[in-house]
Amino acid sequence: MHPLLRLAGPAALLMSLAAGAQAASADALSGPALAWQPVQSAAQVAGTCQRHLARAQAGLRQLRRQPADAQWLRAQDTYAARVEDWAYRLSFLAHVHPDKAVRAAAEACELRWNRFFSALGQDAALYRAARQAPPADETDRQLLRKLVQEFEDAGVSLPPAQRTRARQLNERIAALGQRFDRNIRDANLRVPFTEAELQGVPAAVWKNAKRDAQGRLLLGVDYPTYGPVVQLAESAAARERMWRAKTNEGGAQNLKLLAEITRLRSEYARLFGAASWAEFVTRRRMAESPARVDAFLGEVRAAVQAREVMEIDELRQAKADHLGQPLAQVKLERWDAAFYTERVRQARYSVDQEAFRPYFPPQESLQFTLRLVEKLMGVRYQRVEGAAAWHPEVQTYAVSDAASGAPLGTLWVDLYPREGKYNHAAVWGLRSVSTDLQRQPQAALVVNFDRQGLTLDELETLLHELGHAVHNNLSQARHVQQAGTNVLQDFVEAPSQMLEDWVYDKRVLALMTEVCPACKPVPDALLDKAVAARRFGQGMQESRQHLYASYDLALYGPTPQDPLALWAQMEGATPLGHVAGTMFPAGFAHIAGSYSAGYYGYLWSKVVALDLRTAFAADKLDAQAGRRYRDAVLAQGSQRPPQQLVKDFLGRDFNAKAFFDELAR
Ligand SMILES: [Zn+2]
């Protein structure tokens, strides 16, 4: 089990206020734009940033003069497309560029864009136009409604003093959020271990690590290192040291930042008469209110509680057997959970996640997931050899429609960890489609895999992230602001979560031999065991997700809370309790950032995901269903509300039956 990987995997899609830098062709709104303009220096970033902001200001003055007639929405959306190209890539570089000075310059630029967006959100002339412009159809009406809401949520119709305060708060929150992320990204933690302490951990994980003066190995807390140590190290002391380091990533400084961010968001919500940030956020989502989220989380809790307790009992028994101690004296510690979960899985199902690595080399695994999408959704991925990107190891793919050959979009893939790189797994939509503008979408997939190969869990993570990229790449929306992953945040995970269990299907895995004839196929018996073992640990895993979601909602609730005290109390109430001296929220970037009061969306989206999956119950390679799904859901973006997209695809209203059946299985 990788609790953190599961938390991290479905990570940040940069939403509308994120910023970035330069597209290769700043003014060409259409075309494939496969080239990546190399960024070499901080000065180059600063100069480009300045130029683009000036263009955005000039464009804004022009847009304000546009009459609020039938042409207005197209002009506004064209402007939004230009701003995407001027703004998005630079902030992305802050997460992935190998040069620290470039990352810092990208962050500074991101803050300037944030100020720009903050002011744009309160632009009275544009707000008036959005309310007056006539929609041509229901798609336009949806977008105009969304624009009016966004202007209002930015404070355009507040009295002047509150309006100014809203902007100040926005800018302050953005700056604090950046510092929070940077403290994690640049922490560069190294934890010392003797070789003896690493007994049980494959040598490939640590043999090339640097050593300190006493000859101890210095290991990072990146996933390819952290995972094997907490799952496989025989030494409880070694696991504990690694687990504590990861759990405290971000440090006490981030707790202070989180406290301030929470307070400021609460003040922001009150400017609008909302009782809490959670209320302010959820009223625009599928869930509609914190009360409804609470009720849903309560149902999830009821469905997983018993299984969690049962699993923990089994792990305690495994620990007692392993150490030869009486059960009554054995306490399961948090740093024991992953280790004994692996042991139980190995003992009962004789399955070992490490055993999958030889079958899933990283590059071939990527090609396998691309082939799967090709088969299922009728597209083609073509590698563009020698294309420049932000790092020499990044790969570029041109995506096209298999039947017509028409180009659809661009995908960049960044597979391996390196110093200063974003250390979870995420997809950034760098450009959104617009059929009106003949503009093709672009997405960047960023993960951190072991060069030795992937476990089955990691293959699932890769497919999950590719699901986000596919949502961006295969969209056919008319307006960029409704394209691809620009959907409600408690829906956005559904397309990715739907695909996750494709990796447990033998016919699906057989596609591996198509992309890698030299690779040995995964033995059926090994996969059968993994499928059987998969359920063990789910009770604990879903309970953890439930805890994260409940904590997020309480932190952003109507009563002010100290982040660590609240966490200690809530985690303390779970069966494994809270470990004094640890500070998980200091590394919980989701809730410091754009998933604040939105973490529940992972569980909420999963209800939708499992319902969508029912259409593939008989055949996970059903290309007809795949094509219908592509057209009815992925292509639409947010042109229609999510409930409607699901209904269009399934031919009925969505329900939670598949989700709760799965939990109860
Ligand atoms: Zn995701």
Nearest Cα to Cα of residue 447 among 429, 431, 466? 466
Distance from the alpha carbon of residue 465 to the mean position of ligand 1, in angstroms:
6
Residue 488 CA to chain centroid, in angstroms?
14
* Ligand 1 centroid, distance to 514 Cα (angstroms): 27
For 327, which DSSP code? G
The rounded Å distance from CA 622 to ligand 1 centre is 23
Task: Tell me the CA–centroid distance for residue 12 and ligand 1, in Å.
Answer: 7
With tokens 């500074």, the residue in question is 108
21: three-class secondary structure by DSSP:
coil
Backbone angles phi, psi at 137, to 5 degrees: -160, -170
C-alpha 132 to ligand 1 mean position (Å) = 36
What does the alpha-carbon distance between residue 497 and residue 500 come to, in Å, rounded to a whole number? 5
Extract the residue ranges of the chain whose pLDDT is less than 70.
1-35
340: amino acid identity, one letter: Y
Q: Which helix (H) or strand (E) holds 191?
A: strand 191-193
Contacts of 425 (CB under 8 A, 6+ apart): 5, 8, 9, 11, 446, 447, 448, 461, 462, 464, 465
Q: What is the rounded CA–CA span in Å between residue 507 and residue 503?
A: 9
Overall residue count recorded for the chain in this entry: 665
- What pLDDT is stored for residue 188 in this prediction? 83
* 251-271 and 563-572 helices, crossing angle to 10°: 100
Separation of CA 9 and ligand 1 centre (Å): 6
CA gap 122, 134 in Å, rounded? 21
Report pLDDT for 28: 61
Q: How far apart are CA 623 and CA 629, in angstroms?
A: 10
CA of residue 7 to ligand 1 center, whole Å: 9
CB atoms within 10 A of CB 661: 11
Residues 6+ apart with CB under 8 A from 494: 605, 606, 608, 609, 612, 642
Distance 301 CA to ligand 1 centre (A): 22
How far does residue 595's CA lie from ligand 1's centre (Å)?
11
Assigned token pair, 171 = 């800018």
Q: How remote is the CA of residue 4 from the centroid of ligand 1, in Å?
A: 13
Report CA 303 to chain centroid distance, whole Å. 25
The gap from C-alpha 337 to its chain's centroid, in whole angstroms, comes to 24
Q: What is the pLDDT of residue 33?
A: 52
**248: CA distance to ligand 1 center in Å?**
23
Give the relative orientation of helices 657-664 and 601-613 as an angle to the nearest 10 degrees. 100
With vertex at residue 486, the alpha carbon angle to CA 166 and CA 3, rounded to the nearest 5 degrees, is: 90
**Alpha-carbon gap, residue 48 to 206, rounded angstroms:** 41
Strand-pairing partners, residue 576, are: none
- Rounded CA gap, 418 and 13, in Å? 21
What's CA 277's distance to the chain center, in Å?
A: 21
Contact 17, 114 (CB under 8 A): yes
Determine the distance separating the centroid of ligand 1 and the alpha carbon of 422, expressed in angstroms. 15
Q: Which among 397, 564, 367 is positioned nearest to 462, based on CA atoms?
A: 367
Q: Ligand 1: distance of its center to the CA of 369 in Å?
A: 16
Q: How far is the CA of 144 from the centre of ligand 1 (A)?
A: 27
* Inter-residue contact 553 to 597 (CB < 8 Å): yes
Give whole-number Cα distances, 201 to 188, 327, 354, in Å: 21, 26, 10
